[in-house]
Structure 1
Amino acid sequence: MHDLIAAPFQDHHLILRPGSQRAVKIGAARYADLEHAVATGRHLPGWLADVALRAWGVDTADRTADTAVLIRARGPFEFSRATWEINLGCDFDCEHCYLGQKRFDSLSWDGKDHLLHVMRDAGVIWLQITGGEPLIDPAFPAAYRLAHELGMQVELLSNGSQLSKPRILDLLTTYPPTKMSLSVYGATAETYDAVTRRRGAFQRFAKGLQAAVEAGVNIDLSLIITNRSAHEADAMQAWADRLGLPRRQYATISPTIHGGAEPLPSQSPEYLTHRKPFTGCPAGRTFFHVDPHGRASICKVGREPSIDIPTEGLTGLARLGSIADSLMLRTGGCSGCKLSGTCRVCRPMAKLLQTAKAPPHTYCQNA
């Protein structure tokens, strides 16, 4: 595998190390020098060998540029980030899950291969692979390796249930993710298994978490606070702190992706916090989301209209910007709102909440 990635990013150029969140910005002249070195098979430029040693402790002094560096071509759009639901299937059945019915179906391997190449060609540098539970997908290992080989920095969202399996740990240590975010649903087996509605889920998670920490996988924890786990919020935080892992707390439960209200009763009212005012986001501009069937949308929430990548390919992504504009217009119960300047919810999420008939006081200032 290549030691370094060189990629255009907006008006700049970056040097990245697979599996590392650190990036080094370089000028156009040095980028052109590196491109020439790779094309001609010269030794790595001295300045880059110094950068690699200082930034990542990687000794590349005796390497030729073409064997040490993967050059990423500039994409035709401004996209640099994407998320991909490799599958919606999951080995847990969490009552608060926003996916609703979790059907285990997705693209064939040829379709996944094509999709990853399209995302690479679109300019995606940072790719988040999620699900469902991505690690249980039979094609996950091959897709994960391919994303690395194409020069994407891969982040994983997982429930951690598979992390004690040697083949999974071997994959993650050979091709390190930039970050692996694990969801935590409780601090005891009784609570964890109740939230996930799977007996033995806590034991699998705890075993996998410990194995991944010992293997040196870059992990942070997402502490999911529901009405079943709220009494263990402090214990969940203490668990993360004992392991020395970064942690974030999530208590706002969303409707399903189809506007179903089923997850909302699991919300813990005492842990609800006010969101910051919504001031816009890069959805559909520098970021996009792809579902298991290759349909690209502006984000996980605003899923329609979408672009069918298997049939429209790379050129179809050009329409995401105009789709983003249309989805952000305030319509229905939000049109003409005098508090829109301080609204804390984006329009696609507000539409889901309205469809689900969520209690207005949980998200709307006008309530």
Structure 2
Amino acid sequence: MTEEHSSPYAVTVDATSHHLWKDKIPLLGRLDMELTERCNNNCIHCCINLPEDDKDARRRELSTDEIKGILTEAAVLGAMSVRFTGGEPLIRDDFTELYLFARKLGMKVMLFTNGRLITPEIADLLARVPPLEKIEITVYGMTKESYEAVARVPGSYDEFRRGMQLLMEKGIPFVVKGALLPPNRDEIDEFEAWAATIPAMDTSPSYSMFFDLRCRRDFPEKNRQIATLRLSPEDGVSVLSRDRERYLKSMREFCSKFMRPSGKKLLACGAGHGGCVDAYGMYQPCMMLRHPDCVYDLRSGSLEDSMTNYFPKLREMEAENPEYLARCARCFIKGLCEQCPAKSWMEHGTLDTPVEYLCGVAHAQAYDLGLLEEDEKAWEVEDWQERIDRFVNEEHQ
């Protein structure tokens, strides 16, 4: 479209017709940035956090100028938004400077935070220069006892509540999400009732429950602890399908689009079409994939080079593990399964080893939806397309 529209004050044209974009295709839609792995919480389930006072981590983190340079290049490559996450992004002393820099570049800012460091000054900043995306806050409990049993920091509950109140008072849009853990699993109804009172919440809150292991493979003991906190596949499906009618409607739509064997390609998702910059300048195809063969050092390269030369090669990677090829590559419920190179890396230190827990979750969901019979394995099913069509069309029969 090249049609121009005029008014007495301006001429509006399609952006792609402007000389700045001539013969160019934007390489990035959004950039994810982990500003730090350090956090002021010490959550029992976290796959990334390091202590707030970890001096070595702080020393290795990208400097203010390095982050600004990455943000500037991302904007040149077409990124219209950036997600600041961590760790706890507000823990950085230069957060305000980085936030304003991104907004002056024209980027929307999505902020993932636990809310504890939302001070009156931060709330004023967010009100004065809106992020243009809803802030996302994870809630670990509805009481001091449950919240701090997860966060493991005295006083963290009161600080979280204060942060919420400041956002509410300033009219700053935010949404909340939960993590289902032993200290708070009995609070789902209370949490959802409270979440419904938040003006920006237009859907029920999402939950983490099938927790990831440590992305860095750095603390084996914590990995063992995280594994004990996961819901069983059956219990997880029960949570997902609590609102049965809405759940089935969404799953019919999902299954009509995303249910088919993925084949040999390892990155069968959107990973590599964008990426995440970690706290130390490594650019990875997705936030969780930290295998050393899959990351690009921005301190010695560029976003453009990674997107045009490095990531395309990663997207051509194929599985070699015979077990993966016999199961995952042929499995028609792969769309329900979180199995991916990042999960294999976290669980096994490889890119293509099946993760049994995730396989169990996907099969439990498929059994619940009627796509599989008891004891069937999805990779052995030959009439999978007919089963999907039948499930998708059940609503209209």
Distance verdict in 2 for CA 1:210–1:240, change over 3 Å:
same
Q: Is contact 2:212-2:343 (8 Å) kept?
A: no
Residue of structure 1 equivalent to 2:305? 315
TM-score of the superposed pair, with normalisation by structure 1: 0.75
Amino acid at match of 1:90: C
Residue of structure 2 equivalent to 1:360? 356
Within the candidate set 186, 189, 209, 1:251 is matched to 209
Alignment of structure 1 residues 1-367 onto 2, 5 Å: 27-30=1-4, 43-45=9-11, 73-74=20-21, 77-102=26-51, 103=54, 104-105=57-58, 106-163=61-118, 165-177=119-131, 178-246=133-201, 247-259=205-217, 260=220, 261=223, 262-269=225-232, 271-273=235-237, 280-285=268-273, 287-304=274-291, 305-313=294-302, 314-318=304-308, 319-326=310-317, 329=319, 331=321, 333-337=323-327, 339-343=330-334, 344-352=337-345, 354-355=347-348, 360-364=356-360, 365=363
| Distance (Å, rounded) in 1 between the aligned partners of 2:287 and 2:30 | 13
After the TM superposition, which of the residue ranges 258-267 and 235-244 deviates more from structure 2?
258-267
Q: Is contact 2:113-2:137 (8 Å) kept?
A: yes
| Distance (Å, rounded) in 2 between the aligned partners of 1:350 and 1:330 | 16
Distance verdict in 2 for CA 1:153–1:330, change over 3 Å:
farther
| Number of equivalenced pairs | 307
| Distance (Å, rounded) in 1 between the aligned partners of 2:3 and 2:279 | 40
**CA RMSD of the aligned region, Å?**
3.0
Distance verdict in 2 for CA 1:330–1:84, change over 3 Å:
farther
Distance verdict in 2 for CA 1:111–1:214, change over 3 Å:
same
Secondary structure in structure 2 of the residue aligned to 1:119 = helix
- The structure in which a higher percent of residues are strand is 1
Residue of structure 1 equivalent to 2:390? none
Q: Is contact 1:284-1:320 (8 Å) kept?
A: yes
Structure 2: runs of 5+ lacking an equivalent: 241-250, 260-267, 364-376, 379-397
How many Å apart are 1:131 and its aligned residue?
Answer: 0.7
Secondary structure in structure 2 of the residue aligned to 1:341 = coil
Structure 1: runs of 5+ lacking an equivalent: 1-26, 49-70
- The structure in which a higher percent of residues are helix is 2
Q: Is contact 1:129-1:157 (8 Å) kept?
A: yes
Post-superposition CA distance 1:323-348 (Å, at most 9, x none): 1332x646364222164232212422
| Distance (Å, rounded) in 1 between the aligned partners of 2:82 and 2:339 | 23
Q: Is contact 2:39-2:88 (8 Å) kept?
A: yes
Secondary structure in structure 1 of the residue aligned to 2:44 = coil
| Distance (Å, rounded) in 2 between the aligned partners of 1:97 and 1:72 | 46
| Distance (Å, rounded) in 2 between the aligned partners of 1:151 and 1:361 | 42
Amino acid at match of 1:252: F
How many Å apart are 1:112 and its aligned residue?
Answer: 1.3
Amino acid at match of 1:268: L
| Distance (Å, rounded) in 2 between the aligned partners of 1:295 and 1:86 | 12
How many Å apart are 1:180 and its aligned residue?
Answer: 0.3
Residue identity (%): 22
Post-superposition CA distance 1:259-312 (Å, at most 9, x none): 452422222336423797766432211x21110112111101222321111211
| Distance (Å, rounded) in 1 between the aligned partners of 2:3 and 2:229 | 55
Residue of structure 2 equivalent to 1:10? none
After the TM superposition, which of the residue ranges 243-252 and 91-100 deviates more from structure 2?
243-252
Secondary structure in structure 2 of the residue aligned to 1:29 = coil
How many Å apart are 1:244 and its aligned residue?
Answer: 3.7
Distance verdict in 2 for CA 1:171–1:361, change over 3 Å:
same
Amino acid at match of 2:120: P
TM-score of the superposed pair, with normalisation by structure 2: 0.69
